[in-house]
Amino acid sequence: MSAAAFSGAKALITGGLGFIGSNLARRLVGAGAKVTLIDSLIPEYGGNPFNVQDIRDRVSVSITDVRDPHAMAHLVQGQDYLFNLAGQTSHLDSMSNPMTDLEINAAAQLSILEACRQHSPKVKLVFASTRQLYGRPRYLPVDEKHPASPVDVNGINKLAGEQYHLLYNDVYGLRACCLRLTNTYGPAMRVKDARQTFLGVWLRNAIQDKPILVYGDGSQLRDFNYVDDAVDALLIAAADARADGKVFNLGSTEVVSLKALAELLLAVHGKGRFEVVSFPAERKAIDIGDYYSDFGKIRGELGWTPKVGLREGLERTLRYYAEHGARYWDPA
């Protein structure tokens, strides 16, 4: 990724105080961009001011809910790039509170696009979508031609948000593309609960000498991307016009069972234990079984490929939380 595309550019990040947003902000600031972060700081959604403590004097922060159309109409003006990362990520929460998920992951996305169409038609949008919208895979690895068949409300609404972006690209010429992220992990991820990813809870439990709980029989296959690789993909898609109007999977060449992942995490940490336990009923109902992506499309068209291996990524992430964990799981 060439930093030249972002030098002096104005970039807006929704969910900017969250996990991926804060890591992206750091990279954009380093490339010379003028960065504005939008975050609601709703406790359940992962925003944390500590995530940008080291760059706080180099970014603008707006504590704004993306569901506020008037605020968004103002904030999108004059932006060159909009990285649309804000969302409700919990699959369980989407089932227990579906209307909130609809408001954030679908209705607010349409409102953001309307704001851009009316007030910032030259902006380039990159939407953070999810592999969850594929549902239970019919074949592996899952490519972009795989049918979308979500197993939860979150997946349905993320699919709607994605389709809105593609529609506005095709009909209104508002440049937009979508990245279907797989399991992303790394520093600044939410670790107090499993609302972002189960791996966050595993990391916290390992550091706190608590058992890691592996649901099912542990044979489920997954792929993972370290956050730096996900940020690379976001930047490449933003800077390359060949991405406009398209959907791309992210993924990894490493596919690992959950049991093997737990073993690797504890090996890297040097201690700890895990237990294979039965699925809670509410999780079993929306579990997708084995999943890993075919990311050949983004590799072939945009040149993206992950660089950070799973062991190295876990090592980096464990070091981060060993030092800063209290900022993420201590209520104080």
Query: pLDDT 10s digit of each residue in the chain, 332 long?
Result: 567 899 999 999 999 999 999 999 999 999 999 999 999 898 777 789 999 999 999 999 999 999 999 999 999 999 999 999 987 766 677 788 888 888 888 999 999 999 999 999 999 999 999 999 999 999 999 999 999 999 888 999 999 999 999 999 999 999 999 999 999 999 999 897 766 688 999 999 999 999 999 988 899 999 999 999 999 999 999 999 999 999 999 999 999 999 999 999 999 999 999 999 987 777 766 678 899 999 999 999 999 999 999 999 999 999 999 999 999 986 54
How far apart CA 124 and CA 126 sit, in angstroms, is: 7
Q: How many CA atoms lie within 13 A of 112 on its CB side?
A: 33
Task: For residue 241, give both structure tokens.
Answer: 């016009």
Q: What pLDDT score does 332 carry?
A: 44
Query: 215 — phi, psi (to 5°)?
Result: -80, 150
**Residues shown for the chain:** 332
Q: Do residues 218 and 279 make contact, with C-beta atoms less than 8 angstroms apart?
A: no
Closest Cα to residue 192, out of 200, 184, 180? 200
Enumerate residues 6+ apart whose C-beta is below 8 A from 321.
Answer: 187, 191, 203, 204, 207, 328
Residue with tokens 């933003």: 238
User: 3-state class of 81 per DSSP?
Assistant: strand
Q: Do residues 101 and 157 make contact, with C-beta atoms less than 8 angstroms apart?
A: yes
| Antiparallel, parallel or unpaired: β 247-249 and 176-181 | parallel
Q: What pLDDT score does 196 carry?
A: 62
Q: pTM, whole model, 2 decimals?
A: 0.94
Architecture per CATH, domain 3-185+225-253+292-308, reads as 3-Layer(aba) Sandwich (3.40)
Q: What pLDDT score does 119 carry?
A: 98
- What pairs with residue 184 in β-bridges? 225
Q: What pLDDT score does 331 carry?
A: 52
User: 3-state class of 138 per DSSP?
Assistant: coil
**Cα–Cα distance list, 59 to 75, 86, 187, 198, 311 (Å):** 14, 17, 19, 30, 32
Beta strands in the chain (DSSP E): 10-14, 34-39, 59-63, 81-84, 124-130, 176-181, 183-185, 212-215, 221-226, 247-249, 255-257, 274-277
Cβ neighbour number for residue 175 with a 10 Å cutoff: 22
Residue with tokens 């060993």: 322
